[in-house]
Every structure is written in C-alpha cells, then in structure tokens.
Amino acid sequence: MQSYLDEEIRSRAVAAALGNESFDLILSGGTVVDVGTGELRQSDVGLVGPMVASVHPTGSRTDTADTFDCSDRFIAPGFIDMHVHFESSMLTPGGYAEVVCPRGTTTVFIDPHELANIAGVEGVRYAVDASRGLPVRFVVQAPSCVPPLPGLELSGHDLHAADIAEMLSWDEVGGLAEVMDMGGVLTRDTRMVDIVAAGHDSGKLVSGHAAGLTGPALQAYLSAGIFSDHEVFAHVDAMEKLRAGMTVELRGAFDFVLPLLIEELAQLPEFPTHLIAATDDLFALTLLEEGGIDDLLRRLIRYGLSPVRAIRIATYNAAYRLQRTDLGQVAAGRRADIVVLSSLEEVTVDDVFFDGRRVAHGGAMLEPVVEAPSNPPLDTIQLPDMTPEHFVFRLPGVADGKHRIRVVEGVVLTDWGETEVEVTDGIVAIPEGYLLNVVVHRHGRIAANPVAGLLGGWGDWTGAVATTISHDTHNLSVFGRDPSDMAVAANAVIATGGGVAVARDGEVVAILELPVAGILSPLPAAEVARIQGEVGAAAEAIGLPPGPLTQPLFSVMLMSLACLTGPHVTDIGVVDGTLSELVDDLVLS
C-alpha cells in the first residue's frame, strides 16, 4: 500500500484533479457532509491511493479505475476519538480496531496509561507496536501520571520526566496524556512541573484532566499550559471550561449532561471549535451493542444538535485539536478516511474507507484484522494464593465492643460516612447493608498486605467479585461479605494471570480471563463481549448495584481511583482523594 506521504501519490492526485489522469476510485452520487462550512452538497469524491484528490460536481468526472455508488447516502470524514483508554474494552489493539472501525471511527488518540501503570515504558511500547498497520490510526500519548497520585497508591512502575521525554521522542506519540495530578500542577510539585515541561518541550499536545476545577483553580491549571479536559460532570462545568478556552473532550458517560449542554450551546453566537468527541472508557460489550463515537453522536442529535454539527465535533474539530491537517474533512489533499452513511440522524454507518481502502461494510470488517508482531506483557500478577484470612476486616488494638468508624459511602462518586460496628478480638463484623473492599498490591514492589475498608450504599451481597482491572494502578481488588467467597474469586483471577471473577457459595460462577497485563484478552472481540455480559450478569445476581456508568462492573473497577474526590481503598491504605492524603485511623469512637 502506498503512503499518503509519498510524493508520487501527491503528483498523481494533482494530475487527477486537473483531469490529466484518471482517479483510482470515485465515490459517486452521494451527499458530502462539509463539516467546514456546515453544508450538505451533492458531490462526487475522487480518490488516488490513500488521498482525496478532488471533490467535484456529481457526474462531472467518469474517468476512474473503479466506482463506488453512494446514491441516496452521505459521505462524511472518518470519526476521530480524541480521548480513549482502549484497554477498558479489555481487547488488544487489533480487537479494538475490529470493533470501532465498522462504526466509523478511523483515528483514536489513545492514552495507554493502564498498560503503563502495569508495565511502564514497555507497556506503552507494546501499544505502539501492536497497533501498527491496523485499519484504525492509533495516535499514542505518553502517560503523564504513573502512578496518578504517588504516596496514595503504588503501580507496577513509576514514570518520571526522563521516561516521558523518551516516549515523546517516538514518532508514533502525539502528545502528553491527561495530567491527572491536578494538585501537583497547582502546587508546582517538581515531578509534575518537569513532566508537563517535557510535554511542552516536545512541541506536541498536552492533554488535561480537570475534574472539579473551577474559578481560580481552573484558570491556574490552564496557565500551567494544559488546555483540554474530559472530566465534565455538569453542563455548567462544560460551559465554564469552553469559555475559559479549554478544549472539552465531550464523552457520553454521563448522559444527563448532554441535553442541557446542547441548550446552552444553542445560545452561543458561534458553535465552538474547541468542543470535540471522546469515549474515554468503554467495554467491548458496550462498543458492540451500542457503539462508541457513533453512539455519542446519535444521542447529541437526539437531544437537538444538528447532525452536521454533531459530526463536526468528531471530525473537523478533533483534527484541529490534534493538529492534523490531513484529517477531519472530505476535501482534496486530505487522507481518504471516509464513512458512508445511510442516515445522518441515526449515524448509520454503511461503509468505511481507511486511507482510501474500503475496510468495513454493514457493521463488520471486510477482512480479518491482523495485529502486528509485539511483546505483550504477560505473567504480571505477582501474588500467592489467598486465604479467607486475607479477607477479614481487622482493627488491631481496638477494644472489643461497639465502635463508630468511618466508611466509604457511594458507588464510584464517594463521600465519607460512618456506621457502628461490633469488634471482637480486633475483627470487625460486617454490618448489614455494608460491603468489604480489600485491595492487595499485585506488582511485587511491596509486601502483598491486604488493605480493607467498608463500603456503604452497595446493598447486601451473596457472593464476591475480584478484579485485577482496578483503575488506575490495577492492583487486586476484591468485594464481598463472605471471606471464603472473596478468597475463591481472588484465587481464580490470580491463577489466570488476571481477570474478573464472581464467586458464590464457595465456587466460581463466572470469570473473564485477562492474561495480557492482567487487563486484556487476546480473544476475538465478540467472545470477550459475550463473557463480559456473563460476568456482569453474575455480579448483578449476587447484589452488584446498577451504578452510574455504562456497565455495572465498571463500579468495582473504579472504586480505588484515588484521583477522584472522596475516600477510596488502595493498596497503600484508605485515602481521601479530595485532600490527597492517607487516613491513618478509621475509628471515631
């Protein structure tokens, strides 16, 4: 396949546009979605290799080696996902491409910080190598916060400015990934100052994570040279950031934000160029059943945004932010990343072209996706077998009797609560309506001593869930009330090199094996999605609540995310994400 950067291709495109040479392919009879002007125009599109050579009046040119009929359909640029952790799909890069490409996504701006937290720079190198030659363009970012909050959690590796600079020197790396240590940025912590400086020195993009930042703190974060954010939990949050000049990477995780935001956008004199589309974290099951970027666009249109503007945020606006003039428009000189849609309102993708080749039709790839050779991180779970004794909540030195203790209240979005517990010989009896969360360091850097905390708002369970997907440091996290079930679930994922398991009555009732870094499966996407559904159903059957996210299982996977506000249990201890500090004593009285 000839390269878009090949001067021979450009010379042929010039000749074809002038009528001195025929096209390789004409997409004929369709309506071009002009995301630059907002128009819908009847036009044909002439391709030369991987390049759009001409967009011209319908039927004005017929000199072509091949024709593809787009009558009664729409010709739009390929979608660009501007913030995604592909690892959340639990698929390898090839499996991920197989899922998102038929739905119109042709470029992804990935932050492989899940892999980096487990395998360091080599984990990022795996993502780069495995994504070569796929029918989706992977633009990789250098993870900035590994671990996200040093001192509150421990990952498999610590990345510093020198590591970041090395990755930023790679051609495949397009920028510094989301800077999650907001406190470090605002207090001018040396580690974070040096890491952000490495991003600026590279001349590449620096991406942000500004959860909850407003007023002076938001202005200060922007002044540090970090100009994007996807952590938007309310429409007023999005609007403040847009007005501050911050690029908002709009995702669909919190659907309630979208209709109110669209109402606000309708009041603006101009539609903002710095509003772009992202998926962030989606299971393979969600991608297959509902979609990714295409699903977000459908919802935006349903809530009142015009189809052209919706598509614009996932194409033209995204390419502008990515500083890629070769992407984002169906226009001469651009890459021929094109989606052909039968419905704009429903974002129904019929066909996908990538670099001028038709690669998908009717929701499926036309040819099997072949992943490039790579060295995936394997055997990353460095833990012995666990016993029920590891899953007992102990408060050493606390006298027998009733005590009030601090607990973690809420699902994902947490706050401090308190409850009364009975303590006997230093062991806490788990009160009704509460759950035990035990986190164990699994990377072999410190002793694997269990850390426990009580969770409120999770209901009464009749089994246990264990997972080695536990954002962002991906230690072993186990949830339940019965120590025996918790040990059974934990040992199941340890034995398989990582995964998610559900146990009940002393037996494993469902398991998804994730041997690549303890977070990814080499199985085909459809098979991974099927097992995700089975494990999710089994977890709900033992008591897992629906939660606020796209899949209930995400709740257990995000409970140790220390960079979120509120309390969390990590491998280091119970921490307060709002104050960025360890909580030494949970006993109130």
Concatenate the DSSP letters of all residues of 396-444 into one string.
Answer: TTPPSEEEEEEEEESSSS-EEEEEEEEEETTEEEPPTTEEEEEEE--SS
Distance in angstroms (rounded) separating the CA atoms of residues 578 and 209: 15
- Residue 4: what pLDDT? 85
Burial class of residue 314 (count of CB atoms within 10 Å of its CB; 0-12, 13-18, 19+): buried
Distance in angstroms (rounded) separating the CA atoms of residues 532 and 515: 15
- Residue 1: what pLDDT? 63
Distance in angstroms (rounded) separating the CA atoms of residues 27 and 66: 9
How many other C-beta atoms can be found within 10 angstroms of the C-beta atom of residue 397? 7
N-to-C CA span, the chain: 71
- Residue 509: what pLDDT? 99
Tell me the pLDDT of the chain (589 aa) as tens digits: 678 889 999 999 999 999 999 999 999 999 999 999 999 999 999 999 999 999 999 999 999 999 999 999 999 999 999 999 999 999 999 999 999 999 999 999 999 999 999 999 999 999 999 999 999 999 999 999 999 989 999 999 999 999 999 999 999 999 999 999 999 999 999 999 999 999 999 999 999 999 999 999 999 999 999 999 999 999 999 999 999 999 999 999 989 999 999 999 999 999 999 999 999 999 999 999 999 999 999 999 999 999 999 999 999 999 999 999 999 999 999 999 999 999 999 999 999 999 999 999 999 999 999 999 999 999 999 999 999 999 999 998 999 999 999 999 999 889 999 999 999 999 999 999 999 999 999 999 999 999 999 999 999 999 999 999 999 999 999 999 999 999 999 999 999 999 999 999 999 999 999 999 999 999 999 999 999 999 999 999 999 998 777 799 999 999 999 988 899 999 999 999 988 899 989 999 8
Task: Please state the φ and ψ torsions of residue 280, each to the nearest 5 degrees.
Answer: 70, -85
What domains does the chain contain, in order, with CATH numbers? 78-326 (3.20.20.140), 388-582 (no CATH)
Distance in angstroms (rounded) separating the CA atoms of residues 158 and 556: 24
- Residue 245: what pLDDT? 98
Tell me the pTM. Answer: 0.96
- Residue 454: what pLDDT? 98
Q: Is the backbone peptide bond immediately before 450 cis, with ω within 30 degrees of 0?
A: no
- Coil, strand, or helix at residue 41? strand
